Amino acid sequence: MITAERKPFDEILELVDGHNKILVAGCDTCVAICLTGGEKEAEILASELRMKAQADGREVEVEHTAAIRQCEWEYLDMIAAKVDEADVVLSMACGIGIQSMAEKFAPKLVVPAVNTNMLGMPQEHAVWLERCGACGECVIGETAGICPVVRCSKSLMNGPCGGSHDGKCEVTTPEKEDIDCAWHLIWERLKAQGREELMHKIRPPKDWSKSSSGGPRKMVKEEAKPV
Amino acid sequence: MADDFEPEIIVFACHYCAYAAADLAGSMRLQYPSTIRMIKLPCTGKLEVIHLLRALEAGADGVYAAGCLEGECHYLKGNLWARKRVEHVKRLLPEVGLEPERVEMYNMSSAQGPEFARVATEFTERIKALGPNPLRRHGVSPHAAAREAARDVALPDEAPAGAAAPAPAAEAPAQAPTEKGPAA
Ligand code: SF4
Ligand code: SF4
């Protein structure tokens, strides 16, 4: 799933500064499941914005709503009436949802209330881990189902590097302690699978043009296009 | 701050402990401030961030949750969840211009009538020292708004404990507390 984190409140205030009718628009799919931007969180942010405006003595109307999915046109029709009434829409969806709103309702001002951060999985309740970077050419068939692109700090295709110690990566920051070395995990699982020889295979440099380095990507399924 | 400031305080009280403790405090004829307005929850674990915010937005001067002693929750961990949510709201409040001390989490058992009265008194003193909620609007009753805000989680005050099945006598309040709390 796509995960996101709410932006700092001060930054949100700056984004809506000068507007008197604000719509906080949640999305009830990925960002709701990661407890950041669903209807519940939209209502909380709307309440905070109203309280802040009142504390500052400003007259501001703040409403909230949520689309089932902000990233699909059909669902945006359902919140169009509320969007119409607002001066600015503070979207709590992922970057895709926010852009769908900005495009559908252009030139309405649509601004982000969250930072979209990863394609992650919930490891346990309220903890998400990055699992995929949408590189466009998946290699995990050879790496024991472990993604070297996002789980190796250096995105090495031929790991591990010399910084792998006791199963841990040498990269450590205050926020990221104790990162498992992806290539250590790959080695352990390849051994368990009896496929150690894959560790010795030399992989050529990855073709990043299939990733975001190749410009905006587009996917078309001719067989499924409406006739 | 005016000396005659009478705060309006919303208490989200767990049916199994604080609400019964309030009833006991009443039976014991203990004095506690008439500033508190109780909303009965089936468990403080039902309390969400938005319920606390709605009460404050409606102008309540202070809000607290009163759940069972830690380790004694009828639903195991509801009171621990409530504490986390209260702490989260404490972090949000300074950003919107309110003091984090306006929300709190307390724990007590159903047998602690005196503790119920002590907490009500202590929190009232705290809020009196802070002064009125700057968001207070004329003509809006924070209690009515908070009740409305918690309608999805609150038990009606009048419901006798264990109405569907006979409850042990000790669990059933002898008299249904009023909105102002049993002793008011
Ligand atoms: S190799 Fe590419 S597609 Fe496969 S999991 Fe990693 S980033 Fe995603
Ligand atoms: S220690 Fe492991 S995870 Fe870290 S950069 Fe080196 S190979 Fe990648």
Domains of chain A in start order, with CATH, are 2-118 (3.40.50), 133-205 (no CATH)
Residue A142, class by beta-carbon neighbours within 10 Å (0-12 exposed, 13-18 middle, 19+ buried)? middle
B114-118 long-range contacts (CB < 8 A, ≥24 apart) are B114/B25, B114/B28, B114/B30, B115/B21, B116/B18, B116/B21, B116/B22, B116/B24, B116/B25, B116/B30, B116/B32, B116/B66, B117/B25, B117/B30, B117/B31, B117/B32, B117/B183
Write out pLDDT tens, residues B76-94.
999 999 999 999 999 999 9
* pLDDT band at residue B165 using 50, 70 and 90 as cut-offs: very low
Query: Is A44's Cβ below 8 Å from some Cβ in B?
Result: yes
Work out which ligand 1 atom sits closest to the CA atom of A147.
6
Query: Is B54's Cβ below 8 Å from some Cβ in A?
Result: yes
Query: Could you say which ligand is closest to the alpha carbon of residue A179?
Result: 2
Closest CA to B135 of B63, B49, B42: B63
pLDDT higher than 60, residue B163: no
| CB-defined site of ligand 1, < 6 Å | A 132-135, 138-140, 147, 149-150
- Helix, strand, coil percentages (3-state) for chain A, rounded to 5, are 35, 20, 45
Distance CA B158, CA A199 (A): 70
- β-strands A114-124, A127-132 pairing: antiparallel
Distance CA A70, CA A105 (A): 12
pLDDT in the model for residue B49? 97
Query: Could you say which ligand is closest to the alpha carbon of residue A187?
Result: 2
pLDDT in the model for residue B156? 77
Q: How many helices (H) and strands (E) does chain B have?
A: 5, 4
Distance CA B168, CA B20 (A): 13
Find the mean pLDDT for residues A5-22: 98
Query: Is B96's Cβ below 8 Å from some Cβ in A?
Result: yes
pLDDT higher than 70, residue B179: no
Q: Give the chain B residue whose CA is nearest to the CA of A57.
A: B135
Contact B57 A9 (CB under 8 A): no
pLDDT higher than 70, residue A12: yes
Global confidence as pTM: 0.89
* pLDDT band at residue A62 using 50, 70 and 90 as cut-offs: very high
For residue B24, give every residue at least 6 positions away whose Cβ sits within 8 Å of its Cβ, in sequence order, or none.
B110, B111, B112, B113, B116
CATH of B9-149, one of 3.40.50, 1.10.3470, 3.30.1480, 3.40.720: 3.40.50
Query: Is B92's Cβ below 8 Å from some Cβ in A?
Result: yes
Q: Where along chain B do its domains lie? A: 9-149
Contact B57 A44 (CB under 8 A): no
Closest CA to A7 of A84, A117, A85, A86: A117
Contact B96 A10 (CB under 8 A): no
**First-to-final CA distance of chain B:** 25
Distance A136 CA to ligand 1 centre (A): 7
Percent of residues, chain B, with pLDDT higher than 70: 83
- The Cα of B11 is separated from the nearest Cα of chain A by a number of Å equal to 20
Q: Give the chain B residue whose CA is nearest to the CA of A45.
A: B50
The ipTM, to two decimals, is 0.89
Find the mean pLDDT for residues A109-114: 98
pLDDT in the model for residue B174? 39
* pLDDT band at residue B166 using 50, 70 and 90 as cut-offs: very low
Helix, strand, or coil (residue A119): strand
Work out which ligand 1 atom sits closest to the CA atom of A132.
8
Write out pLDDT tens, residues B112-154.
999 999 999 999 999 999 999 999 877 778 888 788 778 788 8
Give CA angle at B81 (B79, B87), nearest 5°.
100
pLDDT in the model for residue B88? 98
**Chain A residues near residue B54 by CB distance under 8 angstroms:** 47
- List, as ranges, residues 118-147 from A with C-beta within 8 Å of B: none
pLDDT in the model for residue B2? 53
* pLDDT band at residue A173 using 50, 70 and 90 as cut-offs: confident
Give chain B's mean pLDDT.
85
Contact B178, B184 (CB under 8 A): yes
